[in-house]
Amino acid sequence: MTKDSVVLAHESFFGWVSIGLTGNKTIIDYLLGTPLEAIPTARQLGFKTIYWIWWAPGISSGDYQAPTEIFSPVYTLGKITVYVYAGP
């Protein structure tokens, strides 16, 4: 990650993400909402690259699937995937 990048993390992944990142990295915990609700905040804060931690494609949490039309998977480890925002 660079200084102009951020990670969006759901409440259930926040602890795992904060342990896994080293150095001065920014995480936006969007609690129990969706990453789409956190994107405007990340943009307002000036972040250019937005990463998102979520389940791998095809795996869902409840009824929520990764919105792959605006997030592209860049790294998968087991059932967890790092996505990058590719939306408008």
Rounded CA-CA distance 16/77 in Å is 13
Contact 8, 21 (CB under 8 A): no
- pTM summary value: 0.87
**What is the DSSP secondary structure assignment for residue 56, as one 8-state letter?**
P
SS3 4: coil
HSE value, Cβ hemisphere, 13 Å, CA-based, for 41: 14
Give the model confidence (pLDDT) of 4-38 as tens digits. Answer: 999 999 888 888 888 888 888 899 998 888 899 99
What per-residue confidence (pLDDT) applies to 5? 95
Residues in the chain: 88
Taking the chain, what is the end-to-end CA distance rounded to the nearest angstrom? Answer: 21
Give pLDDT, residue 76: 94
DSSP state of 25: -
- 29-87 confidence digits (pLDDT tens): 988 888 999 999 999 999 999 999 988 877 766 666 667 788 999 999 998 999 999 87
